[in-house]
């Protein structure tokens, strides 16, 4: 059954885990990025007045950074009041308005440096930037009613449509970096104007023509998702963020246009990633080279690239798949990303970010490799990157998080509850308004109490997701379990309660024997959280920490640790240290008490080793 999401506008986190994270996101992250972008040229570039000798030369992707900040700020304004941010956004819109050409074109890089060359180089992110600006425009209009940016972006959209669709006069046919495809769907959804949907379809359908590539050697067909028509694709290859954005749009189009072959392609690449290419944290795009998907089952942990934006793009894809088909695995992956793959991308204080998300960190090795320029990557989160796409992506993702919690089936009689958190929501099914509250200590405790307040007694179905990680879920109502959702159909009256229990055992997870990197290892999970061990708790040389026999895992609430957290303590062994590089094996171990913390919180206590996968015998 197709479903529509319930907008973030109608979902409020009033306390608990996501209330805290959203507050940090709004108060710290949004301001931190604003400051960085003011200082690092992102906002100034909009003035189109950069001159030789100035700092922060505008780059082809600068506008997308600006756009994602506006988008995130718009969500926060809507949820928490404007707090001065409308003025900031309006002044940015003023600059875009002043700079936009009579035809409707806007790109701070091209207008500053190469106005004559617009839409000639496929690799140069113009449509990507345009897409992000469109998303920002929709978000801002939807949040505030202010359509000034939206009107500008519709003009830009008309110009793009003319050049790429009507006249086909651009130097290329499809964007080197997909993004506008899903932005156009949002524009269509918001405006109801079919031309945007048509243009999105055009960009998706036109892929796979092996367009002539730029001179950049890594900019090949796989990299920019052009190796075959989307409908024919069966593998996830190339640049993982480009992949995720493209397939988010493709999944949306498959649903909207009822295109079965496009849907089948989405299913195939989805399965390819889930079965062969995703880190246990949700990280995707393991290769540094080309920020790309690697071979099947090739999941190096220290060398993992796993860009934060790639996890976001996979979450987007998952959310679009969910709208097409109620399978729990889509929300499972979304949940995996929101608690792990994406959340690790931002510090607890909200002001520092990972671009790459390894599953193993050995700072001494990383620093050596940085020094000799063999694998450049910070061992700790940074305030800013020269390519600083991830921070505002995190900002906008978490600001609108509530929008992924609920869905309404196309029958207008089914309410999907996909995620669990302390929150309240206002949802309309057909003509019936339903208020709904969740009480839970999720992700620390799997008991969820959902209260339902329909304005009138009504028969409808509530489909609660039974998380894929949970081995023995239960509910206090009769229902039918299908593809990860538990359908409870009855007459609901105000004050009805659904009690769910998702026991959160500590699970030892193994990976497929084909994943050479993780053979002989397990990762610990509890509920939706992946755990890791850190040097701060366990000393260094974490690869040697070994779980043996049948250990008792003790879940310990640590209120003072990393914002409050259930840690996992367990007995483990280490080898006794010795001096030689090699020696004849001695079966000599030291018993230790090990402690694991949630992966999302790693690297918040100074520099140190971290490991997700632990030896198991």
Contact predicate 366/379, CB 8 Å: yes
Question: Of the two residues 193 and 471, which places its CB atom closer to a copy of itself in the complex?
Answer: 471
Name residues contacting a copy of itself, limited to 285-324 (CB under 8 A): 287-290, 292, 294-298, 302-303
What are the C-alpha distances in Å from 339 to residues 311, 425, 446? Answer: 11, 21, 14
Q: How far apart are CA 364 and CA 176, in angstroms?
A: 37
Q: Does 503 bind a copy of itself (CB under 8 A)?
A: no
* Distance in Å, CB of 311 to a copy of itself, minimum: 16
Burial of 433 (0-12, 13-18, 19+ CB in 10 A): middle
Cis peptide before 443 (omega within 30 of 0): yes
Size of site (CB under 8 A) for a copy of itself: 67
Angular region, 113: left φ>0, alpha ψ -120 to 50, beta rest: alpha
Q: Does 386 bind a copy of itself (CB under 8 A)?
A: no
CA–chain centroid gap for 445, Å, is 23
Question: Of the two residues 150 and 521, which places its CB atom closer to a copy of itself in the complex?
Answer: 521
Question: Of the two residues 120 and 512, which places its CB atom closer to a copy of itself in the complex?
Answer: 512
Among 364, 482, 493, 593, binds a copy of itself (CB under 8 A): 364
* Distance in Å, CB of 299 to a copy of itself, minimum: 9
Structure tokens that stand for 343 in this block: 């959340």
The packing angle between helices 180-191 and 126-144, to 10°, is 30
Q: Does 592 bind a copy of itself (CB under 8 A)?
A: no
Angular region, 285: left φ>0, alpha ψ -120 to 50, beta rest: left
Question: Of the two residues 559 and 580, which places its CB atom closer to a copy of itself in the complex?
Answer: 580
Q: How far apart are CA 92 and CA 45, in angstroms?
A: 10
* Distance in Å, CB of 471 to a copy of itself, minimum: 7
* Distance in Å, CB of 600 to a copy of itself, minimum: 18
Stretch that binds a copy of itself, among 412-420, 440-448, 486-494, 573-581 (CB under 8 A): 573-581
Q: Mask of contacts with a copy of itself, 152-181, x by CB under 8 A?
A: ------------------------------
Locus of tokens 């949940």: 335
Give 209's contacts (C-beta < 8 A, 6+ positions apart). Answer: 173, 174, 226
The packing angle between helices 308-324 and 260-272, to 10°, is 140
Among 145, 495, 583, 591, binds a copy of itself (CB under 8 A): 583
Give 531's contacts (C-beta < 8 A, 6+ positions apart). Answer: 523, 524, 525, 568, 596, 597, 598, 599, 612
Stretch that binds a copy of itself, among 7-15, 55-63, 141-149, 509-517 (CB under 8 A): 509-517
Task: Give the number of other CB atoms < 10 A from CB of residue 152.
Answer: 20
Locus of tokens 């305030």: 383
Q: Does 365 bind a copy of itself (CB under 8 A)?
A: yes
3 state DSSP class of 386:
coil
Contact predicate 314/270, CB 8 Å: no
Stretch that binds a copy of itself, among 50-58, 60-68, 225-233, 542-550 (CB under 8 A): 542-550
Name residues contacting a copy of itself, limited to 223-282 (CB under 8 A): 274-276, 278, 280
Question: Of the two residues 105 and 317, which places its CB atom closer to a copy of itself in the complex?
Answer: 317
Question: Of the two residues 169 and 577, which places its CB atom closer to a copy of itself in the complex?
Answer: 577
Name residues contacting a copy of itself, limited to 461-500 (CB under 8 A): 471
Three-class DSSP labels, 520-536: CEEEEEECCEEEEEEHH
* Distance in Å, CB of 490 to a copy of itself, minimum: 33
Q: Does 575 bind a copy of itself (CB under 8 A)?
A: yes
Stretch that binds a copy of itself, among 18-26, 308-316, 371-379, 564-572 (CB under 8 A): 371-379
Name residues contacting a copy of itself, limited to 109-148 (CB under 8 A): none
* Distance in Å, CB of 315 to a copy of itself, minimum: 18
Stretch that binds a copy of itself, among 87-95, 349-357, 359-367, 556-564 (CB under 8 A): 359-367
Question: Of the two residues 81 and 520, which places its CB atom closer to a copy of itself in the complex?
Answer: 520
Locus of tokens 């009256």: 493
- E strand or H helix at 85, and its extent? helix 85-99
Nearest to 23 by CA among 330, 486, 349: 349
Binding residues for a copy of itself, rule: CB under 8 A, are: 217-218, 222, 274-276, 278, 280, 287-290, 292, 294-298, 302-303, 360, 362, 364-365, 368-369, 372-375, 471, 507-517, 519-523, 541-544, 546, 574-575, 577-586, 615-617
């Amino acid at each position: 059954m197709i479903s529509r999401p319930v907008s973030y506008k109608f979902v409020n986190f009033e306390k608990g885990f996501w209330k805290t994270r959203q507050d940090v996101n709004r108060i710290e992250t949004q301001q931190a990025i604003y400051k960085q972008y003011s200082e690092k040229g992102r906002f100034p570039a909009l003035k189109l007045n950069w001159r030789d000798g100035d700092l922060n030369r505008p780059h082809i992707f600068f506008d997308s950074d600006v756009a994602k900040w506006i988008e995130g700020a718009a969500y926060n304004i809507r949820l928490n009041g404007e707090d001065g941010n409308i003025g900031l956004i309006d002044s940015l819109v003023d600059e875009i308005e002043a700079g936009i050409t009579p035809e409707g074109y806007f790109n701070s890089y091209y207008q500053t440096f190469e106005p004559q060359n617009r839409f000639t180089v496929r690799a140069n992110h113009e449509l990507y930037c345009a897409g992000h600006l469109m998303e920002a425009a929709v978000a801002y209009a939807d949040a505030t009613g202010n359509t000034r940016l939206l009107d500008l972006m519709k003009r830009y959209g008309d110009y793009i449509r003319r050049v790429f669709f009507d006249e086909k006069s651009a130097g290329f046919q499809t964007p080197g970096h997909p993004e506008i495809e899903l932005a156009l769907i949002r524009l269509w959804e918001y405006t109801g104007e079919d031309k945007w949907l048509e243009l999105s379809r055009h960009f998706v359908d036109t892929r796979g023509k092996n367009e002539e590539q730029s001179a950049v050697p890594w900019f090949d067909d796989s990299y920019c998702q052009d190796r075959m028509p989307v409908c024919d694709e069966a593998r996830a290859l190339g640049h993982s963020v480009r992949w995720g954005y493209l397939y988010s749009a493709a999944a949306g189009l498959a649903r909207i246009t009822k295109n079965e072959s496009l849907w089948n392609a989405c299913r195939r690449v989805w399965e390819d990633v889930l079965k062969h290419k995703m880190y246990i944290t949700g990280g995707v795009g393991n290769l540094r080279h080309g920020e790309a998907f690697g071979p099947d089952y090739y999941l190096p942990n220290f060398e993992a690239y796993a860009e934060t934006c790639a996890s976001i793009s996979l979450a987007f894809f998952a959310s679009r798949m969910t709208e097409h088909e109620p399978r729990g695995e889509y929300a499972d992956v979304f949940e995996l990303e929101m608690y792990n793959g994406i959340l690790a991308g931002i510090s607890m204080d909200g002001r520092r970010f990972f671009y790459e998300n390894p599953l193993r960190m050995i700072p001494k090795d990383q620093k050596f490799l940085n020094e000799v320029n063999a694998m450049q990557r910070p061992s700790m989160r940074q305030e800013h990157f020269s390519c600083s796409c991830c921070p505002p992506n995190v900002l906008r993702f978490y600001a609108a998080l509530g929008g992924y919690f609920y869905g309404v089936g196309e029958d207008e009689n089914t309410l999907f509850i996909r995620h669990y958190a302390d929150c309240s929501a206002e949802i309309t099914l057909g003509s019936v308004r339903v208020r709904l509250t969740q009480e839970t200590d999720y992700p620390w405790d799997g008991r969820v109490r959902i209260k339902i307040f329909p304005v009138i007694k009504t028969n409808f179905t509530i489909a609660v997701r039974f998380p894929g990680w949970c081995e023995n879920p239960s509910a206090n109502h009769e229902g039918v379990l299908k593809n990860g959702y538990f359908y409870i159909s009855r007459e609901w009256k105000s004050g009805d309660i659904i009690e769910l229990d998702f026991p959160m055992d500590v699970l030892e997870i193994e990976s497929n024997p084909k994943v050479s990197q993780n053979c002989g290892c397990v990762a610990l999970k509890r509920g939706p959280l992946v755990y890791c061990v850190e040097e701060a708790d366990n000393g260094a040389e974490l690869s040697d920490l070994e779980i043996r026999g049948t250990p008792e895992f003790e879940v310990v609430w640590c209120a003072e640790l990393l914002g409050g957290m259930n840690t996992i303590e367990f007995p483990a062994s280490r080898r006794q240290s010795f001096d030689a590089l090699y020696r004849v094996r001695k079966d000599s171990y030291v018993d230790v008490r090990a402690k694991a913390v949630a992966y999302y919180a790693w690297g918040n206590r100074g520099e140190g080793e971290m490991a997700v996968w632990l030896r198991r015998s």
